[in-house]
Amino acid sequence: MSVSYRDALRAALLYGLLSVFWLQISDHLLNSYFDDWGQLAQWQRINGYLWAFISAVLIFIARARLLSFMGVGARLKHQRQDRERLRQAAVVFDCTREGVLVTDCRGTIVHVNRALVEITGYTAAEVLGHRPNMFKSGRHGPEFYQAVFKSLQESGDWNGEIWNRRKDGEVYPQWQTVRAITDGKGQVTHYVAVFTDISAIKKSQTELTRLAHHDALTDLPNRLLFTDRTEQALASALRHSSGCALLMIDLDHFKIVNDSLGHNIGDLLLKRVADRLQRLFGKGFTVARLGGDEFAVLVDNCPRTAEAALAAQQVLEVMKGVFEVEKHQLFISASVGISVFPRDALNAEQLLRNADSALYKAKKAGREGYAVYTEELTTHAQYRVEVANDLRRALEQQELRVYYQPVHDLKTCQLIGVEALVRWQHPVRGLISPGEFIPIAERTGLIAEIDAWVLEQACWQMGQWQSAGVELSFVAVNISSRLFARPELFTLVSTVLADTGLDPALLELEVTESAVMDDSQAALEQMHRLRTLGLRLAIDDFGTGFSSLLRLKQLPVQKLKIDQGFVAGLPADNDDVAIVRAVIALSQSMGLAVQAEGIEHVEQAQLLLDLTCDLGQGYWFGRPMPASELDWQRAPAMHG
Ligand code: C2E
Ligand code: MG
Ligand code: MG
């Protein structure tokens, strides 16, 4: 039933009740004063009730019509809906997580909700009657607030980020929306501000930015941030006509720590190194971890190489002390590459690249030292790129050749084996030795293809010799340390053996000491797997690496090859004699064959024989040569 009808019914009922009540009273009064009221009274009573009923109906109709005509019903309905809406708004206002603040048109706070109290730390009583500037943090200048008011005046609202202060003094960011409330005439009566505390979002944003720019392990800037800072430093150096230096630092043989003591200890060592470098350079310098065991330092105001070299020297010095990591006492050295702005490079990327080239030079020069970038290094780098491209072509055009160098039994002087050594028959430059292109092939990944091809050729050639009745005990093939720990090597070797049908006992694989020691666990597993194929393993260039005797004992190898550097000093150099003697004794005590490389004179061969070395290889016996030129009968005689 509509409001107007309900109201009219109420009025009619009220009238009816009052009439009946009046009739009852009058009836009672007349009865008590007049005795002959009797019949007449009965009739009058019925009439009275009838009249009361009819007039009540008339009142109902009149009232209902009047009310609907005047629109009172609709107004009452609206009022009721407004009341309901207000009640809901009040609940929302109080329950919302956003802080809400209402001011009058002069900016005096007239209302706040519960969330505002929670966010700001003030009670409602403390803020009502004050102005919102009580929350000011001081982070924004007057122009900021002017822009807010301008926006409110022009468009009636403003929203944006604003930094305010809590009661306890903490400054925090809010996302705030302010709206002007106008009356029917367009006059501003109130302002309502709704805001969210975005400090948690800001914090995680800051954390994300920090994570993207810092190394998680050491908390040092990472390569991204370091490059950015270098760019800024170069721009500032350019403005002030000064210079700066970039030191790139790489730990020597860090892999050994990782492999022998585990990654946890390795990580802790990196942290200690980072601490030491930071303490050495202090807060003003950017020390970064570029990845792995590689660090970099940006030295501002350092335009001269001599000053940069001094800083590099300090790095080497500071690394000398023992690193206490858990219960281990570790020693580690570093190599440093230096590049100086503006002398060597004009942008950050180039400066980094040049420092890297210098670092490579320092490593090659024997580690634990520093090297300064020179233009020659770039020429070298360019040369390396050219050779790598050329080498790719050489592989396709089959310009590589395998030469074989004889290995003789020192006692009988008989040729008993050969070592396969790769050569590059360059169409313009002639025969190029592996020393020139193998390191480049290793850096560019081409080495995998080269070694696979040499292995295939050598096994095939050995098969040919076998068929021709040549008595050879082995063909030795060099495997790059870059490939040795890789699982593909096993597949490659077994496939080549299967394809060529060569007896695996006739194949010897040579690996360098560093290949075995650098990634020792993977290399050890690889060695055991390769041994299951039935081939033999030799350690090449023995004595030049960092073999630990303990590790050597664990390796399933059958031969040690004494590096030619020690043989070269024979027989005059007493140190070399002592080393060669020791290596022979060591091999024999471990039941390994021992072979000396680089024998160029008969005296060297004689001394090696006297020291009971088993096998010899060198120009005195024969140079590396094409398969067809090998002289099977050659057995050079010694004097004694
Ligand atoms: P390596 O395996 O130690 O090979 C011995 C090197 O010493 C060879 O140099 C050989 O020609 C040289 N040599 C032999 N006897 C004498 C001598 O009496 N005096 C002097 N001064 N040198 C002698 P080459 O052929 O230039 O090879 C250099 C290195 O290149 C090899 O050292 C080996 O590490 C690497 N290499 C050669 N061929 C391959 C290959 O197919 N694969 C891989 N990964 N490396 C290879
Ligand atoms: Mg070799
Ligand atoms: Mg060698």
**Cα distances (Å, whole numbers) of residue 431 to 399, 402, 428, 461:** 10, 11, 9, 21
Q: How many CB atoms lie within 10 A of CB 1?
A: 8
Residue 252 lies in a domain: yes
At a CB cut-off of 8 Å and minimum separation 6, what does 122 contact?
116, 167
Distance of alpha carbon 111 from alpha carbon 124, whole angstroms: 8
Residue predicted with more confidence, 94 or 591: 591
CA 540 to ligand 1 centroid distance, Å? 10
Distance of alpha carbon 352 from alpha carbon 349, whole angstroms: 5
Domain encompassing residue 110: 96-202
Query: What mean pLDDT is predicted for residues 149-153?
Result: 91
**pLDDT band at 36, cuts 50/70/90?**
low
Longest dimension (CA), the chain: 179
For residue 318, is pLDDT > 90? Answer: yes
Residue predicted with more confidence, 4 or 331: 331
Tokens 């950017």 belong to which residue? 286
- Show the tokens assigned to 602: 């008969």
- Show the tokens assigned to 450: 């080269």
CA 615 to ligand 2 centroid distance, Å? 14
- Judge if 546 and 402 occupy the same domain: yes
Backbone angles phi, psi at 12, to 5 degrees: -65, -40
- Judge if 47 and 172 occupy the same domain: no
Tell the residue nearest (CA) to atom 15 of ligand 1.
Answer: 618
User: What confidence score (pLDDT) does residue 424 get?
Assistant: 96
- Cβ atoms of 459 and 507 within 8 Å: the answer is yes
**pLDDT band at 304, cuts 50/70/90?**
confident
Residue 402 lies in a domain: yes
User: What confidence score (pLDDT) does residue 22 get?
Assistant: 73
- In single-letter form, the type of residue at position 615 comes to L
Q: Which atom of ligand 1 is nearest to the CA of 624?
A: 11
Tell the residue nearest (CA) to atom 23 of ligand 1.
Answer: 598
Query: Closest-lying ligand to the alpha carbon of 509?
Result: 2
Q: Which atom of ligand 1 is nearest to the CA of 447?
A: 44
User: What confidence score (pLDDT) does residue 90 get?
Assistant: 78
Tell the residue nearest (CA) to atom 42 of ligand 1.
Answer: 478
Query: Closest-lying ligand to the alpha carbon of 431?
Result: 1
CA 577 to ligand 3 centroid distance, Å? 18
Mutation test residue for ligand 1: of 395, 401, 421, the one with most atoms within 8 Å of CB: 421
For residue 24, is pLDDT > 90? Answer: no
User: What confidence score (pLDDT) does residue 202 get?
Assistant: 85
**pTM listed for this prediction:** 0.56
Residue 207 lies in a domain: no
Backbone angles phi, psi at 269, to 5 degrees: -65, -40
Distance of alpha carbon 163 from alpha carbon 175, whole angstroms: 9
- Judge if 558 and 578 occupy the same domain: yes
Tell the residue nearest (CA) to atom 13 of ligand 1.
Answer: 598
Query: Closest-lying ligand to the alpha carbon of 407?
Result: 1
Distance of alpha carbon 72 from alpha carbon 109, whole angstroms: 36
Length of the chain: 640
CATH code for the domain of 184: 3.30.450.20
Query: What mean pLDDT is predicted for residues 38-59?
Result: 72
- Judge if 496 and 579 occupy the same domain: yes
- Rounded to the nearest 10 degrees, how much is the dihedral formed by the CA atoms of 352, 358, 360, 362? -140
Backbone angles phi, psi at 558, to 5 degrees: -115, -10
For residue 4, is pLDDT > 60? Answer: no
CA 96 to ligand 1 centroid distance, Å? 80
Distance of alpha carbon 365 from alpha carbon 359, whole angstroms: 10
Residue 561 lies in a domain: yes
For residue 543, is pLDDT > 90? Answer: no
What is the per-residue pLDDT across 114-131, written as a single tens digit (0 to 9) for each?
A: 999 999 999 999 999 999
Residue predicted with more confidence, 381 or 395: 395
Query: Closest-lying ligand to the alpha carbon of 515?
Result: 1
Distance of alpha carbon 168 from alpha carbon 255, whole angstroms: 52
On the question of a cis peptide bond just before residue 571, with omega within 30 degrees of 0, the verdict is yes
How distant is the alpha carbon of residue 296 from its chain centre?
Answer: 17
CA 562 to ligand 3 centroid distance, Å? 8
Bridge partner residues of 512 (DSSP)? 540
Q: Which atom of ligand 1 is nearest to the CA of 442?
A: 44
For residue 3, is pLDDT > 60? Answer: no
CATH code for the domain of 242: 3.30.70.270
**pLDDT band at 43, cuts 50/70/90?**
low
For residue 2, is pLDDT > 60? Answer: no
Tell the residue nearest (CA) to atom 44 of ligand 1.
Answer: 480
- Range picked from 92-101, 517-526, 598-607 for highest mean pLDDT: 598-607
Bridge partner residues of 420 (DSSP)? 404, 477
- Judge if 454 and 553 occupy the same domain: yes
User: What confidence score (pLDDT) does residue 299 get?
Assistant: 92
Bridge partner residues of 44 (DSSP)? none
User: What confidence score (pLDDT) does residue 632 get?
Assistant: 86
Residue 381 lies in a domain: no
3-state secondary structure 521-556: HHHHHHHHHHHHCCCEEEEEEECCCCCCHHHHHHCC
- Judge if 260 and 367 occupy the same domain: yes
User: What confidence score (pLDDT) does residue 17 get?
Assistant: 79
CA 111 to ligand 1 centroid distance, Å? 89
Residue 142 lies in a domain: yes
Element (H, E) at 300: none
CA angle 70, 75, 78 (to 5 degrees): 160
For residue 518, is pLDDT > 70? Answer: no
For residue 640, is pLDDT > 60? Answer: no
Bridge partner residues of 478 (DSSP)? 510
Tokens 């091809």 belong to which residue? 453
Tell the residue nearest (CA) to atom 38 of ligand 1.
Answer: 421
Domain boundary among 202, 230, 249: 202
What is the per-residue pLDDT across 411-421, written as a single tens digit (0 to 9) for each?
A: 999 999 999 99
User: What confidence score (pLDDT) does residue 546 get?
Assistant: 59
Sign of the C-alpha dihedral computed for residues 527, 532, 533 and 538 taken in this order: positive
What is the per-residue pLDDT across 68-83, written as a single tens digit (0 to 9) for each?
A: 656 666 777 788 887 8
- Judge if 251 and 333 occupy the same domain: yes
Distance of alpha carbon 457 from alpha carbon 464, whole angstroms: 10
3-state secondary structure 560-611: EEECHHHHHCCCCCHHHHHHHHHHHHHHHHCCCEEEECCCCCHHHHHHHHHC
- Cβ atoms of 620 and 603 within 8 Å: the answer is no
Number of domains within the chain: 4
Tell the residue nearest (CA) to atom 25 of ligand 1.
Answer: 421
Smallest Cα–Cα separation from 284: which of 244, 235, 343? 244
CA 597 to ligand 3 centroid distance, Å? 6
- Judge if 369 and 403 occupy the same domain: no
- Judge if 186 and 218 occupy the same domain: no
Percent of the chain whose predicted confidence (pLDDT) is above 70: 93
- Cβ atoms of 113 and 96 within 8 Å: the answer is yes
CA 421 to ligand 1 centroid distance, Å? 6
Residue predicted with more confidence, 195 or 547: 195
- Judge if 432 and 476 occupy the same domain: yes
Distance of alpha carbon 544 from alpha carbon 547, whole angstroms: 9
- Cβ atoms of 136 and 164 within 8 Å: the answer is yes
User: What confidence score (pLDDT) does residue 164 get?
Assistant: 94
Mean of all residue pLDDT scores within the chain: 88
- Cβ atoms of 540 and 519 within 8 Å: the answer is no
CA 510 to ligand 2 centroid distance, Å? 6
Query: What mean pLDDT is predicted for residues 613-639?
Result: 91
Choice among 146-160, 381-395, 478-492 with the minimum mean pLDDT: 381-395
| Concatenated DSSP letters of 385-410 | HHHHHHHHHHHHTT-EEEEEEEEEET
**Sheet with 334-341, edge to edge strand ranges:** 286-291, 294-299, 244-251, 334-341, 370-372
Percent of the chain whose predicted confidence (pLDDT) is above 90: 62
On the question of a cis peptide bond just before residue 132, with omega within 30 degrees of 0, the verdict is no
- In single-letter form, the type of residue at position 362 comes to A
Residues framing ligand 1 (Cβ under 6 A): 405, 421-422, 433-435, 438, 451, 454, 478, 480, 510, 540-541, 564, 597-600, 617-619, 624
Domain boundary among 172, 202, 232: 202
How distant is the alpha carbon of residue 598 from its chain centre?
Answer: 47
Mutation test residue for ligand 1: of 425, 479, 597, 620, the one with most atoms within 8 Å of CB: 597
**pLDDT band at 61, cuts 50/70/90?**
confident
Tell the residue nearest (CA) to atom 27 of ligand 1.
Answer: 434
Distance of alpha carbon 585 from alpha carbon 528, whole angstroms: 25
CATH code for the domain of 625: 3.20.20.450
User: What confidence score (pLDDT) does residue 15 get?
Assistant: 74
- Judge if 287 and 411 occupy the same domain: no
Residue predicted with more confidence, 59 or 509: 509
- Judge if 528 and 409 occupy the same domain: yes
User: What confidence score (pLDDT) does residue 1 get?
Assistant: 59
For residue 167, is pLDDT > 90? Answer: yes
User: What confidence score (pLDDT) does residue 249 get?
Assistant: 97
What is the per-residue pLDDT across 213-258, written as a single tens digit (0 to 9) for each?
A: 999 999 999 999 999 999 999 999 888 888 899 999 999 989 888 8
Query: Closest-lying ligand to the alpha carbon of 544?
Result: 3
**Cα distances (Å, whole numbers) of residue 551 to 218, 411, 541, 555, 563:** 31, 30, 16, 7, 19
Rg (CA), the chain: 48
Element (H, E) at 321: none
CA 550 to ligand 1 centroid distance, Å? 28
